[in-house]
Amino acid sequence: MTGKIAIHILTILAIILAAASTTSGNTYVDWEGEYYIEYPDDWTEIPYKRVVSFLLSQKVNPDNFTYRLAVSEKAEEPVFGGVYMFISTYEVGKFTDRQIDSTLAAIDEANGIKHITTSLAETTRRFSSRQPVYDESQKAVVIYDKIADAVTNNVLLEMRKFYDNGIVVFFCYAPSDRFESVRPRFLTILNSFSTENLDQFAKSSGEVNIVNVNNRTAADISGSNSETDSADAPRNDLLETILIVLLAVIVLFGICYVITRKKKK
């Protein structure tokens, strides 16, 4: 009988651990752009001061690169040596079909190859270098490109989404040897794009990331502790999960002990 109880305890513990490790993903809401996307739960926002430092190291004026969100895998260090993504929004109004066709023609010319039209809903889709892939139903175009020099060997997956307010561009970067494993995650982010029911995010929770670009100031570059805070968040979540599991173990073994005592009596 005790063996059966132990099996039940182990089963319940497995369920608890599975529930604790299940991730629902994070939601980024762009109120100005009037859309939202979901990105992986194990990704985190890159502090503004780190983005500025990176841009300056690449000889890019931060004032000339406008973005709404920068995220990377939590475990990546250095951040810009791993998997990361920028999202930029250009609120220029809705593109007509003719304007989209003209934009696609310009993209084809810039890349030296004509685009193909197919679905991007399948996250296992592979891409040829510099050949644009357009999804007519989603009104999204994706371009795969390799960035290799003496220092880096990365891949850029540039995803452009046409919608009612303009264009959202996702600049997705990954080391070449890791791109195939993260490609589905990039495409899942694109497929999560939505403008429906924004009101549901009016009361933000811990899983909803709302970035106010206008609040980014010089203080964010020199005096902000957001980097430390961001790094501490995963540790706090892990500690919370461990405490919950330990408490569950104590309770379940207590129940097992009581049942065993009753059987002996």
- Spatial strand order in the sheet of 69-73: 43-45, 69-73, 84-90, 166-175, 153-163, 140-148, 133-135, 116-117
Domains of the chain with CATH codes:
25-225 (3.40.1000.10)
- 162 vs 184: CA distance, rounded Å: 20
Each residue's pLDDT expressed in tens, for the chain with a length of 265 residues: 555 555 555 454 444 444 443 345 799 999 999 999 999 999 999 999 999 999 999 899 999 999 999 999 987 678 899 999 999 999 999 999 999 999 999 999 999 999 999 999 999 899 999 999 999 999 999 999 998 776 678 999 999 999 999 999 999 999 999 999 999 999 999 999 999 998 888 765 555 665 555 455 444 444 444 444 444 444 444 455 555 656 665 656 666 565 666 655 5
CB 82 within 8 Å of CB 57? no
CB 43 within 8 Å of CB 74? yes
CB 95 within 8 Å of CB 168? no
pTM, two decimals, is 0.72
**Residue in the structure block whose two tokens are 């990546």:** 76
